Every structure is written in C-alpha cells, then in structure tokens.
Amino acid sequence: MIKQTLLLPIFYIYYEVILKLLLGIPWNINVILLVLGCLTLGVFFGFLNSLFPEKVNRILFYGNVFLITFYFGMQLCLFRLFGFYFELSLLAAADQVFSFSKEMILLIISQLFGIILLLLPLILSIIFRKKINFHREKRPLISVLVTVLSAALFCGGIFVLKDTNNAFDLAVMHHNMTLSVENYGVLNSFLLDSYKKVTGFEEVIDVVEEDGSILENLPEVTNTHTPRTLPVDFDMLIANETDDTILQLHEYFNNEKATMTNKYTGMFEGKNLIFILAESFNEVAVDPNMTPTLYKLVHDGFYFTNFYTPTINSTIGGELQELTSLYNGKNMLQSFRSGRNYYPFGIGTLFNNAGYHTFAYHNGVYNFQDRDQYLKAAGFNTYKGCRSGLEEMINCNKWPESDIEMMETTVEEYMDQQPFMTYYVTISGHGSYSFDGSINGMGPKYEEYLRSFNLDVSDDALAYLAGEIELDRALETLMNKLEEKGILDDTVIALVGDHYPYFLSDEQVNELSSYEKDGIIEINHSNFILYNSAMTPTTIEKVGSQIDVMPTIYNLFDLPFDSRFLIGKDILSNAEGLAIFQNHSWVSDYGRYYARSDTFVPKEGKNVPEGYVERMNAIVNNKTIISSLIINNDYYSYVFK
C-alpha cells in the first residue's frame, strides 16, 4: 500500500506540470522551486491528513485532492478565457466572471481534454482507493523533517536566484500573479498572494537614474514649449505629511519629469469630442472593404502604428487604464469601482470645467461592475445605460445590444448642445462569437455579408467580425448625423479598444491578422483612433497604450492638467514611448522585453544603451506600483481636493 503522505506531493507536482504543458508556459531554473514547494505542501498536508482515524483521514485526503483539482481547473479556464490567473484581489471582479456563465460552460467543454488530465489523480485515487494507506501516522517525525527541509531549501532557493523578475523579486519586492505562476507554480503563488494580502505587503519602488542618452528621435522641444504642470507646492506637501505612503508619493512626483507642450497643443481646442471605448476592438477587424468607416478613421486622422491595448482583467481593466491614465495594478479594482476616489483629471471633470456639456452612454446594464459609480467619479453627471433610461431608446432585451441603435438615437440628445463631450462604451463586439443566435445575435445578423468575402478563417473568427461590422456601421451612422447637422468638421472622434478579442484563441486571432502575433505582446497590438475630418492625416510611430490616451487628448484640447501625476503620457510629446503588459513584459521605442523568458529583442537599427533593460524594468515596476498606490490611497485628494 502507498501512503497518502507520498501521494499528495506527487499529485501536486503532476498538476503543476500538466498546467504548464496545457498553457505552453516555458521551463526555467525556477522549476526547482516549483518542485520544492509542491514537496513541502504535499508532505505537510499529507501529514495533517494522517493525524486522525482512518475514516477521517480518507475524507480529508479526497477533500484535498478535489479542491486542488478544482483550483487548477479554474486557473486553466480563467487563463484561457480572460488571459489572467485567479488572485485574491480579483474577488472584486467576481461578478464579471460569473456573468459569463454560458461562455464558461462552452469553455469547459472546449478544454475537456485538459480538465480530464487534471481529474486523473482524483479518478485514479478513487479507483485504487484500497491501495492507499489512510492509517494514522505512527512516525510523524519523518514527515515533519521532510517538510522543514524542503521548506528551508525552497526559501533558500528564493534568495539564491536573485535576478530581475525571478522568485526573489516576486516574493520580496514586487507582486505579479501572472509572472509568479509562470515562474514557480500555482500553489506557491497562491500562498504568496495570500501572505501578501494578509500582511498588507507594500512593493518596493526602485531608484531610477536619469539617462538622457536614450531620449533620441523624440519630438523637438523649443523655447516656446512649456511644461504641462499645475502649481503644486511639493515642499509644503512633503513638510506637512505624516503618512509614510503619501509622503513617498509626494517625493516620487516631485522628482517626476513633466511632458512639454508641443506643436499639436490646442489643435482641437473648442471642438466637440466623441470618445468611444469599443468592446473587443482590435486592428484585425479594420479592413477597407469590410469595415470601411473604421479603416478611414484609423488612417485619415492620427495613425498610431505602434499602439497597444494591454489586456489586464478584461473590460473593467481596460476602462480603468483608459479613464485614469494609470496602469491596472495590484488590488485596484475594488477602490476604482467604489467611485469614492477623487479624480481631478477625470475626462468628464476637465471637459465640464472647460464649459462642455458631457454625456455618457453604455448599451449594457448600466451598473454592471459599478460603472455608474466610477463614471460619476470621472465627472459624468449624465449617464444612461440599459435599466437607467437607455432602454426607452433602444432594445435592451437582446444580446448583445446594438451599437447602431445606441449611437443613432443618443446623438439627437447632444448635437444641439455644443460644445459637447460624449463618452460611449459599446457592447456589440462582445464574445462569445458564433453564428448561433442564442450565443451572439450579431453573428446571424451579418453572416451572409461576411460569407460574401470568402475568407479562409474559422467560423468563430468570422463571427467576431460581425460585432465589429456593427460598430463600423454605428460610426458611419454617427458621422452622417454629424455631417447633416454641419458639425462633423467641428467634432473629434476618438476610439480605443478595451482589450483584444480574448474569446478567440491566439490561433484564431492570427487567422485574421496580416502577420503572426505572439500571445504576450503583439496579440495586444491595435489601433487608437483620433480623427477630425478637417485634419491632415498624420502618422505617429512612437509606442503608446491605453494609459496614454487621456493626456494625449487633453493636450490636443489644451485642457489644464499636470502630466507628472499621470502614469500615461501624451503620445505626441517628448516622453519616451512605453506599453506595459500584464506579466510586466513591455514594448518601448527601442524594442520589446518578454518577462516570462527575461529576453529583450531590440528594434532593428536601434543602438540600445548599456543597462537599458534593467533601467526600463525598474521604470515598469515603479509605474505599476505607483498606479496602485494612487488608487488605493485616494492620493489625488491629498494634493488637489
């Protein structure tokens, strides 16, 4: 008979290996820590399960195996559907996960092979239950010694492996669940996440030395350009602050370099703005024949060739980054959703202050994930969604609701109230994607039209385009209305996606792509539409992402803001281009860094300065940490309220 004390560590290692293989997570030296962690936990729980009578030990054993199987299965499905792993801070977004119950069922079916592999230990232990020894442990000292020894080796290994983005960095200095799971396993990461949650772990802000040698090929700054700042007395703030965290933030922003005004400053001053957060919008949906309006808006305005929409915690993560100009970091969702934070640079607030009439619309349930609360915090006093007034204007009883209906009816509310700033959150592009009307109504609506293009792609990929065609025609309707009113030249249209279409697999996205996208960085490459019918088309090659959208718009409209206090930067300014992704991989104007493999790939023709990657890793860590501290401590209220 085999002891359960021996079985559990074997099972734990098996689960970790299978998940790595299923998700294609590469192997590195940290696999030693993975094995040591599984050995420690397996022997420890096996020991606990052997302290009682045989019947109780059996129940504890099977309960343990069932829970671990469920947890690994959940991680598999979450990552497949959303591109992130479960951590305790995501309990604030649990309603979003549960709202996709139908999609989760379909996903479980699609991942059946992987789920069966994860179920094997449980199935085999039930079949061969008579071969397992559940008797009370007579020599517990051996289990205790093995647990202590493997735990000591695990802890020692963390301190031995002291390179950037490794186990030591993730355990002691920074927090990143994705990178943690990929480096040393699901179980170790869960314990580490729990420890940090309980102890109130604070990440370490790195000291970054200024290095002017890398600031090449950026827009020229002349004597006529001025810093984009507001009068802030940092000496007074620092002298009077007693809270260590707030003091740390004061000192950080006091040393932050402001962006400068530039030749585009005030280019759109006084014009109307229609700004759209487009569900699952991605560059693969932009086609001159299939989606001609999107194609025109992408290429005939500011054409950003190196723009990214980093997918972090689904739609709410993208909207957080776009609305706040902050990176969606650790434990931020609950604070953001509450709507209690003070945002002096909220888009609604700044346009209200400039004398604009502001409106917000969403053709989904108005308060899903507390959107009504955080939009109010961003300065929108007029907001309509389904169940809060929009249902009187469009059909809110179908899935997904129509972008065309929303824009066609709501534009009549604000066209006569100039200058206006209108914010739309669309939903027609939402997954799952299918030509089955019970799953997504956009598929059947445009199936005949899509089939006419004879694309050699899967049905799911083709059905994704249906929602983007709906968006394209909604924009066409909107622009026609503005032109009929005679205000198209006086209106700026901005559009950014919340995330890539993650209901499609990477392979299905690549069916639609003109080049092969990797699943970390290029899968998030997309378009940022910034268009005015009276402007000259302008190509911008600098790297940018969602967090750069607001400061770029504010500069173009010449609204007063302090660029030091926003983590995102005006893409048209003299700031370095940077896009940060969920596992702290990043892209800059010099190349791309893959955190998973600790690999930097320089851009062709770029002479990368010595120490550049280490410096940028420190900057990335700082930007993510500072973003979290701003939200979780309501920092702006200390400075501006």
Cis peptide before 400 (omega within 30 of 0): yes
Is a pLDDT exceeding 90 seen at residue 319?
Answer: yes
Question: What does 276-325 look like in DSSP terms, one character per residue?
Answer: EEETT--GGG--TTTSHHHHHHHHSSEEETTEE---SSHHHHHHHHHHHS
Q: Stretch 423-449: mean pLDDT, rounded?
A: 94
Cβ–Cβ < 8 Å for 189, 180: yes
Could you tell me which residues come within 8 angstroms of residue 189 by beta carbon, excluding any fewer than 6 positions away? 85, 87, 177, 180, 181
Whole-angstrom distance, CA of residue 359 vs CA of residue 587? 34
Q: Stretch 574-600: mean pLDDT, rounded?
A: 93
Is a pLDDT exceeding 50 seen at residue 213?
Answer: no
Whole-angstrom distance, CA of residue 470 vs CA of residue 363? 13
Could you tell me which residues come within 8 angstroms of residue 612 by beta carbon, excluding any fewer than 6 positions away? 211, 214, 590
Fold for the domain defined by 212-639: Alkaline Phosphatase, subunit A (3.40.720)
Is a pLDDT exceeding 70 seen at residue 221?
Answer: no
Q: For residue 19, what pLDDT is reported?
A: 95
Could you tell me which residues come within 8 angstroms of residue 47 by beta carbon, excluding any fewer than 6 positions away? 5, 137, 140, 143, 144, 147
Question: What does 181-234 look like in DSSP terms, one character per residue?
Answer: HHHH-HHHHHHHHHHHHHHT--PPPPP----GGG--SPPP--TT--B------H
Radius of gyration of the chain (CA): 26
Q: Could you give the count of Cα atoms lying within 13 Å of 324 in the half-sphere of its Cβ?
A: 32
* Domain boundary assignment for the chain: 2-199, 212-639
Higher pLDDT, 49 or 227: 227
Question: Cα(first)–Cα(last) distance of the chain, in Å?
Answer: 69
Cβ–Cβ < 8 Å for 228, 572: no
Is a pLDDT exceeding 80 seen at residue 82?
Answer: no
CB atoms closer than 10 angstroms to residue 56: 14
Q: For residue 68, what pLDDT is reported?
A: 95
Average pLDDT, the chain: 91
| Model confidence pLDDT, tens digit, residues 372-404 | 999 999 999 899 999 999 999 999 999 999 999
Using alpha carbons only, give the angle 131, 137, 138 rounded to the nearest 5 degrees: 120
Beta partners for residue 251, in sequence order:
none
579: three-class secondary structure by DSSP: strand
Work out the pLDDT band at 6, boundaries 50, 70, 90: confident
Q: For residue 218, what pLDDT is reported?
A: 58
Cβ–Cβ < 8 Å for 530, 301: yes
Whole-angstrom distance, CA of residue 78 vs CA of residue 86? 7
Q: Which residue bears the tokens 């022997």? A: 43
Question: What does 423-487 look like in DSSP terms, one character per residue?
Answer: EEE--TTPSP--S-TTT-THHHHHHHHHHTT---S-HHHHHHHHHHHHHHHHHHHHHHHHHHHT-
Query: Parallel, antiparallel, or unpaired for β 591-594 and 586-588?
Result: antiparallel
Q: Stretch 105-131: mean pLDDT, rounded?
A: 89
Q: For residue 96, what pLDDT is reported?
A: 58
Max mean pLDDT range (37-51, 341-355, 608-622): 341-355
Beta partners for residue 275, in sequence order:
423, 494
Work out the pLDDT band at 220, boundaries 50, 70, 90: low
| Model confidence pLDDT, tens digit, residues 402-415 | 999 999 999 999 99
For the entire predicted model, the pTM comes to 0.90
Instruction: Report residue 302 as tokens.
Output: 């500011």
Q: For residue 482, what pLDDT is reported?
A: 98
| Model confidence pLDDT, tens digit, residues 148-178 | 888 888 888 887 766 555 667 777 777 888 8
Is a pLDDT exceeding 50 seen at residue 301?
Answer: yes
The fraction of the chain above a pLDDT of 90, given in percent, is 69
Q: What distance lies between CA 308 and its chain's CA centroid? A: 11
Nearest C-alpha neighbor of 188 from the set 323, 34, 77, 395? 34
Beta partners for residue 531, in sequence order:
493
